[in-house]
């Protein structure tokens, strides 16, 4: 008899941002497969008798391949166990959720998806700004700054990303943002457009720094850091905290 998988989104890092349902599933789990960014205090909510298995992927580090993660997930659920697949942020945003769902469907294993606080919302809250703004930011767009090769996706819609009336959030974009900035300016977005770099959001090490898109690109060219971060740019960054 097959088990059951709960895809639990852990939020950006602060265990107090876990949903009640997420905590319930962690406490009843028999196996927890967790991402790197879901480790630490969040795992303290897990059933103390559960098997904890790290399957996280981080840029620039040796990481499990996605097919291996999906296989481990299926194998444990096939043993009839209650499995939590713990994903950072919201698993539905650049979290490789679809591939794992496909693997479960092919194996005939039932599952549920529990959403969580995405780091974009947490970053805006830390900065003291909303993601939308009357008249000047009616649209929010979330994009990835890196495709499967680690480069800026070649089919990126630059007209949309250069929209001055949109809030744009770039996930996994620290390395590629300098190149993206040049393309944004070429597409008509002013180099003086406000931007923010939000690092280690909702953790004790969190830091939000304000730039323009041009000065942020220069900053990222001159610094290296493995700290998880995302980039926001657009009219919202004009607000003072």
Active-site positions read 35, 57, 172
Task: Report how far Cα 126 is from the mean position of its chain's Cα atoms.
Answer: 16
Could you write out the DSSP letters of every residue in 102-120? HHHHHHT--EEEE----HH
The CA-based angle 24-30-35, given to 5 degrees, is 75
Q: Which residues contact 223 (CB under 8 A, 6 or more apart)?
A: none
Q: Would you list the DSSP string of 163-212?
A: -TTEEEEEES-TTTHHHHHHHHHHTT--TT-EEEEEESTTSTT-EEEEEE
Q: What span, in angstroms and rounded, lies between the C-alpha atoms of 196 and 235?
A: 11
49: exposed, middle or buried (Cβ count in 10 Å: 0-12, 13-18, 19+): exposed
Please state, as a whole number, how many other Cβ atoms lie within 10 Å of the Cβ of residue 210: 16
Cα torsion through 228, 87, 103, 67, rounded to 10: 40
Based on its alpha-carbon atoms, the radius of gyration of the chain, rounded to whole angstroms, reads 19
Rounded CA-CA distance 185/229 in Å is: 22
């Amino acid at each position: 008899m097959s088990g059951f998988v709960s895809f639990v989104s852990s939020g950006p890092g602060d265990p107090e941002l876990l949903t009640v349902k997420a905590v319930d599933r962690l406490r009843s789990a028999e196996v927890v497969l967790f991402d790197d960014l879901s480790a630490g205090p969040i795992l303290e909510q897990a059933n103390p008798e559960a098997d904890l298995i790290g399957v996280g992927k981080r840029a620039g580090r040796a990481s499990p391949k996605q097919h291996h993660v999906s296989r481990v997930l299926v194998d444990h659920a096939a043993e009839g166990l209650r499995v939590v697949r713990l994903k950072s942020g919201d698993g539905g945003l650049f979290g490789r959720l679809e591939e794992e769902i496909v693997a479960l469907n092919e194996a005939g294993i039932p599952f549920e998806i529990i959403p969580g606080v995405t780091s974009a919302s947490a970053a805006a809250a830390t900065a003291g700004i909303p993601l939308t703004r009357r008249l000047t930011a009616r649209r929010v767009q979330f994009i990835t700054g890196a495709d499967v090769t680690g480069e800026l996706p070649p089919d990126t819609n630059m007209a949309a990303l250069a929209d001055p009336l949109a809030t744009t959030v770039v996930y996994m974009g620290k390395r590629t943002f300098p190149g993206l900035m040049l393309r944004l300016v070429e597409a008509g977005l002013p180099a003086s457009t406000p931007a923010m770099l939000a690092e280690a959001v909702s953790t004790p090490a969190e830091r939000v720094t304000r730039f323009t898109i041009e000065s942020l690109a220069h900053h990222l060219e001159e610094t290296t850091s493995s700290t998880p971060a995302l980039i926001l740019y657009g009219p919202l960054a004009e607000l003072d905290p």
